[in-house]
Amino acid sequence: MSNIYTASSGEIKRIQWLQLEKQLLYLQKNSGFYRKLFKKNEIDPDKINSYIEFQKIPITTKENVQEFNQDFLCVPESEIIDFVTTSGTLGKPVSFALNETDLQRLATNEMESFKMIGIKKEDVVQITTTLDRRFMAGMAYFLGLRKLGAGIVRTGSGFPQLQWDSIARFKPKYLVAVPSFLLKMIEYSELNNIDCNNSSVKAVICIGEPIRDLEFKLNSLGSKISKLWDIELFSTYASTEMATAFTECEAHRGNHAQPELIFTEILDEAGNPVKPGETGELVITTLQVETMPLLRFATGDMVSYTDEPCPCGRNTLRLSPVLGRKKQMIKFKGTSLYPQHIIEVLNNFKGIPAFVIEVNTNDVGTDAVVVKIPDSLSAEKVSLLKEHFKSKLQVTPTLEQVSLKIIEKLKSPEGSRKPLVFIDYR
Ligand SMILES: [Zn+2]
């Protein structure tokens, strides 16, 4: 365990602040975008020595990074080694780049993330996610495991048969996977007489979809998986912009931050830090990044946090699962909801094989929520689901029954890296 994790929270803040000051000076020297921003707002990065001063720096938005993409570049183009794009969940994908230092930093970041889970040099890990397609995460997993010295099996995404064949051949103890893909692997194992509980796999690092609820208990997707396959599930949360992973430890009480690599703020609508347990937008400043560092970047992800010491002995801040995107906030019949609230209700209700949530603006300018569920469900089941919604959220979205085929098609639009269950038409 790296020392910073178990240091006192005061010491963690002190070490982090030193990195932050260094990054501010680096941006002043090398970033066209931030130099202009400092000048325009009469900010002298040299004089920022408290959070109150730091808070005066305007927020950087996704649109800023999109519009002034090249201005964020802090190194000559000849220094760039890896070109990537963001996943583009909202809007067009944005270009990012990494130089040698950034690739080393990314490797360290992911190594620390794997260590958090308990992965050791002697372990074998199968990466069942995309390594190519301009995707930073897949490469980060590879680099992190390589730095750790662990064994790596690069199966890539999809192909349950290849996954099971590789498990039989190379006996990985861990998988890196999108949780819903684990269900596909379980389904394949059942059809092909593979006893998944007798395999070498003991734990999975889950990306892309939450597996825990706000109380850190396995959510319905998580429990569905673990009921069928006796494996330990760890969540990890990251993005291209953050270039840093937040990962669960063996206590499974939220995703630990890596304070020497990222400065995190969780802010309310007015831009003030929220209290532990309250929901706010995650705003990050990358530390030790050279090519495209971001300062007070609004991720759009709504989370809550805790700063209490973790049973694992680490004192770093821990994030809750992401409740949804800031822009995805749904004003519905007088309630504010995030997609995860609706997804949880549907997942907790037994017997719905698939669903898609669609949000539209209706004629009176408020949000309309339609949940598409399979037409195979009986009228009785649908009315039970309505009651279930009422009891969990106090409101009931419109339920529309369509064929399973239509739902599956909506869930996997062309070019999407992960299945969609929430579609926003607003
Ligand atoms: Zn912990």
Termini Cα distance of the chain: 45
CATH 3.30.300.30 domain residues, the chain? 329-424
Percentage of the chain lying above the pLDDT 70 cut: 98
- The pLDDT-based confidence of 74 (bands split at 50, 70, 90) is very high
For ligand 1, the distance from its centroid to the CA atom of residue 419, given in whole angstroms, is: 29
CATH 3.40.50.12780, the chain: domain bounds: 1-322
CA–centroid distance, 114 to ligand 1, in Å, is: 13
Q: What separation in Å is there between the alpha carbon of 262 and the centre of ligand 1?
A: 17
From the DSSP assignment, how many helices (H) and strands (E) are in the chain? 13, 21
Segment 247-269, tens digit of pLDDT: 999 999 999 999 999 999 999 98
**Alpha carbon of 179 to ligand 1 centroid (Å):** 21
Superfamily (CATH H level) for 1-322: ANL, N-terminal domain (3.40.50.12780)
Size of the chain in residues: 426
Distance 251 CA to ligand 1 centre (A): 5
Pair of tokens at residue 132: 């190519």
Could you tell me the distance, in angstroms and rounded to a whole number, from the CA of residue 248 to the centre of ligand 1? 7
Q: Pick from 323, 263, 187: which is nearest to 27 by CA? A: 263
* Residue 111 CA neighbour count, 13 Å, CB half: 18
319 CA distance to ligand 1 centroid (A)? Answer: 11
Tokens 């996943």 belong to residue: 87
Q: Both tokens of residue 361?
A: 């603006």
pLDDT of residue 68: 95
**Strand locations in 166-221, DSSP E?**
174-177, 203-206
**Would the pLDDT of 2 be above 60?**
no
Q: Of 385, 327, 394, nearest to 361 (Cα)?
A: 327
From ligand 1's centre to the CA of 315, what distance in Å?
A: 8
Indicate the burial class of 326 (C-beta count within 10 angstroms; 0-12, 13-18, 19 or more): middle
Q: Which helix (H) or strand (E) holds 127?
A: strand 124-127
Give residue 298 CA to ligand 1 midpoint distance, Å. 25
Cβ pair 185, 176 in contact under 8 A: no
The pTM of the full predicted model, rounded to 2 decimals, is 0.85
Q: What is the whole-number distance in angstroms between the Cα of residue 15 and the centre of ligand 1?
A: 19
Write phi, then psi, for 145 (nearest 5 degrees): -70, -35
Instruction: Please state, as a whole number, how many other Cβ atoms lie within 10 Å of the Cβ of residue 144.
Output: 25
Give the CATH architecture of domain 329-424. Answer: 2-Layer Sandwich (3.30)
**Among 286, 284, 287, 292, which Cα is nearest to 267's?**
284
Ligand 1 centre distance from Cα of residue 283 (Å):
22
**Residue 87 — very low, low, confident or very high, per pLDDT cuts 50/70/90?**
confident
